[in-house]
Amino acid sequence: MGISRRDVLLGTTGALGAATFSRPMPAIAQSEPIKIGWLAAMTGPSSAPTVGFNRGVTFAVDTINAAGGVKGRKIEVITRDTQGDPTKAVNATQEMISQLKVHGIWGPVNSGEALATTPIMARAKMPDIHPCVVETLIDPAKFPNAFRMAPSNSQWDDAVRNYCLTILKVKKIAVFGDTTGYGVTAVGASVAAFKKDGADVVYQANIDATQPDMTPDMLRAKNAGAEVIVVWSVATSMEARMFNTRATMNWDVAFVGHPSLASGDIAGLIEKPANWEKVYAVGYKSCSYDAAGKLPAKSQELVDRLTKANIPLNDTLLWWIAGGIDAVELFAKAVEASGSTDAPGIIAHLNTLSKYPGYFGNYTFSPSQHNGYPTDEIVMSAANSAKSGTFALAPGYA
Amino acid sequence: MLGSILASGLAAGAIYALVGVTYNTMFSTSRVMSFTSGQLAMLGGVFGSMFMLKLGLPVIAGFVLTLVGCAIIGIITEFVAVRPVLKNLDQHLYVLSTLALALMIQQVAAIKWGTEPQPFPKLIGWGSGVWDEKFWLPVVACAATVIGLEYLYRRTLVGRAFLAIAEDNFAARALGLPERNLRIASYALAGVIGGIAGFSGGELLLAFFANGALLNFYGFVPVAIGGLGNNRGAIIGGIALGLFQQAANFLVGGIFSSVAVFTLFIVVLLAAPRGLFGSATARRV
């Protein structure tokens, strides 16, 4: 039987095809970088936390890669600026899943975006670590791929209530929020929780953040006998006006509440620095210094490393940087432990973590609990005590 | 409590009144309700804070530059959002064009200035409590503006020309008045009045990009209550609105005070569609 030109072509093609299929694919997989998508609101109104988180991300990636990577594989972070816009966040998420084929996603960092992106990531079974506070973003049954590495809003609420009732030992509470969806929801939840714990909520109000004079509500709270004012808002102008009004009223009442009470913007909006005294904002043990001015040893070690690496701390918060580092390290450890970048392996590993020692906190996840940050590491900080991204512990902590 | 209601009510009311006068000044020469009025007041606060706090200029220089900046924005409004639609006033295209420009101003302010409220400096440092300058300064500015406008309209040739255009611009043009230039001048004047509103109310409202939308609405209410084109009506309507709003804040709480303001607004419009001080104009047929 003669060999035709067609037989030669078929044979050659078949041989080449077989050679292609028999190439050692695992070798490529083992050398390709670990791709982490980073949904970062680098610009826009909510960019401040992202800028801090990004410093941590960059620091962690550089450190891990300089040490040889994860089992020889470098980490590659692919950043998309979502500008705090849920639509852009959704587009970036789709791109990361479908085109960039990332192995895990860090972010987004604000709840509005996360509400839009979380179901998309869940459908794609994409491992996701985020720091957003809205309760519904974590549901291991609906979103088994999503892990929260910062406190939820109810954990903040627990910490604030605990500080008011057991440390300040006050019983008559006024709860204020702004008129945004967040403010209304947070005030409702806070009031219900205080009442459940036996406190007397003597006044509650949702105030338009643009209202130029806070005297009406402050006066009503005072007349109702409030011993502390709990604030749930991100509107720094409203908060500063409350502090100024308290001073005008000569009312020696403490404010306790949302982390924004410690925002640097408030310094320029208060009429005198004393107006910012007796204001206690949600903070974290890992990023708070004691009466002697000392941070926890592990945090101090991090600050020293960051300082050595010329990473600025004076215009951001330490917990943002620490959170960025922890997110990258959590992914790196998951790949290292599971031996691959497969999503099921990463998710399974995260579900086994118990008091994993990060810089921001000690994280614990399980298949039924994806709120990883421990409530007992949330503390109150003296709002006006910012120093290199850290705060002084509020009075009452040992 | 009464002192607080009066102090903050009069202050807010004076700012609303000045924004109302800004609306009227632009309306008088063009028959256009320009929804950039509130943005001009917002820019008064933002420019003031920028010149004095960011650039470190003294108060007088900051004030003058703020007014110049707002006057320029007023003129741009005339060129960009008003002039192109003057031939089709009956189609009310100015609603779209001025709202679009207002949105642009707000977005540019948000991008360039920031989305967080910024401090506005103490201008004089007189008074405390209910006598703090943040309360009385807008009232004084409003009074001074009203006196200045009365002088302009009654004692100066330019002012009388404004009135002539406002009364009947076809007749005024037939008499040789430079209608187009007077319209540009009236928009510059509106910019100055808006700038005064924002600058004098800066300590109360802070330098905040979102104040524009707020003042657009609360400045429109006194115009509707007082009667379109009627400055006295706008002043009385603005002061009344401020006092009513603050009283509602004290009596029913901030979240319900807006509802109270809307209710009053609708009731007044139902009772007097041309405003409390408006009157039907005679029309030759």
Q: What is the DSSP string of B133-166?
A: HHHHHHHHHHHHHHHHHHHHHHH-HHHHHHHHHH
Residues A255 and A231: beta-carbon distance below 8 Å: yes
Q: What is the mean pLDDT of residues A5-12?
A: 60
Q: Which residues of B touch A248 (CB under 8 A)?
A: 128-129
Dihedral (CA of B46, B52, B53, B55) sign: positive
Residue of A nearest to B254 (CA): A207
pLDDT at A3: 60
C-beta atoms of A236 and B117 within 8 A? yes
The listed CATH number (1.10.10, 1.20.1540, 1.10.3470, 3.30.70) that belongs to domain B2-271: 1.10.3470
Angle in degrees, 0-180, between the axes of helices B59-77 and B179-200, rounded to the nearest 10 = 140
Q: What is the mean pLDDT of residues A95-111?
A: 95
Given pLDDT bands bounded at 50, 70 and 90, which one contains residue A1?
very low
Q: Which residues of A touch B250 (CB under 8 A)?
A: 215-216, 219
The interface predicted TM-score (ipTM) is: 0.80
Residue B18 tokens, joined: 């000045």
- CA neighbor of A221 nearest in space, from A170, A281, A157, A167: A170
Res. A17: pLDDT tops 60: no
Q: Which residues of A touch B258 (CB under 8 A)?
A: 208
pLDDT at A88: 95
Residue-averaged pLDDT of chain B? 89
Q: Three-state DSSP class for A365?
A: coil
Q: What is the mean pLDDT of residues A18-47?
A: 70
Query: Which residues lie across from A81 on neighbouring strands?
Result: A40
Residue A165 tokens, joined: 């009732």
Most B-contacting residue of A207, A211, A213 (CB-CB within 10 A), to test interface: A213
Query: Which residues lie across from A177 on neighbouring strands?
Result: A206, A232
Q: Which residues of A touch B255 (CB under 8 A)?
A: 179, 205-208
CB atoms within 10 A of CB B68: 15
C-beta atoms of A237 and B117 within 8 A? yes
Residue-averaged pLDDT of chain A? 90
pLDDT at A128: 97
Query: For residue A382, what is the enclosing H or E element?
Result: strand A378-382
What's chain A's Rg over C-alpha atoms? 25
For residue B82, give every residue at least 6 positions away whose Cβ sits within 8 Å of its Cβ, in sequence order, or none: B26, B30, B32, B34, B94, B97, B98, B183, B187
C-beta atoms of B250 and A216 within 8 A? yes
For A35-62, the pLDDT digits (tens) are 999 999 888 766 788 989 999 999 999 9
pLDDT at A22: 45
The answer to whether the bond into A108 is cis (omega within 30° of 0) is: yes
For A159-197, the pLDDT digits (tens) are 999 999 999 999 999 999 988 878 888 999 999 999 999
Characterize the bridge pairing of strands A288-289 and A391-392. parallel
Instruction: Say which residue the tokens 């409004």 belong to.
Output: B77
Instruction: Say which residue the tokens 């220089």 belong to.
Output: B61
For B120-167, the pLDDT digits (tens) are 999 988 888 788 899 999 999 999 999 999 999 989 998 899 888 888
Which regions in chain B score pLDDT beneath 70?
254, 278-285
Given pLDDT bands bounded at 50, 70 and 90, which one contains residue A13?
low
The CA-based diameter of chain B, rounded to the nearest angstrom, is 59
C-beta atoms of B249 and A265 within 8 A? no
Q: What is the mean pLDDT of residues A10-20?
A: 52
- B266 φψ region: left (φ > 0), alpha (ψ -120 to 50), beta (else): alpha
Most A-contacting residue of B1, B4, B16 (CB-CB within 10 A), to test interface: B4
Q: Three-state DSSP class for A188?
A: helix
Distance CA A153, CA A188 (A): 12
Residue type at B65 in one-letter notation: L
C-beta atoms of B115 and A45 within 8 A? yes
For A238-275, the pLDDT digits (tens) are 999 999 999 999 999 999 999 989 988 888 899 999 99
C-beta atoms of B8 and A215 within 8 A? yes
Residue type at A14 in one-letter notation: G
Phi/psi for A213 (5° steps) reads -125, 120
Of B4, B118, B210, the CB nearest to A268: B118
pLDDT at B267: 86
For residue B34, give every residue at least 6 positions away whose Cβ sits within 8 Å of its Cβ, in sequence order, or none: B23, B26, B27, B77, B81, B82, B94, B98, B190
Q: How many alpha carbons fall within 13 Å on the CB side of residue B20?
A: 34
C-beta atoms of A207 and B129 within 8 A? no
Counting one residue from A and one from B, how many pairs have CB atoms under 8 Å apart?
A: 64
Q: Is A50 exposed, middle or buried (0-12, 13-18, 19+ CB in 10 A)?
A: buried
Q: Which residues of A touch B (CB under 8 A)?
A: 45, 179, 205-208, 210-213, 215-217, 219-220, 236-237, 248, 265, 268-269
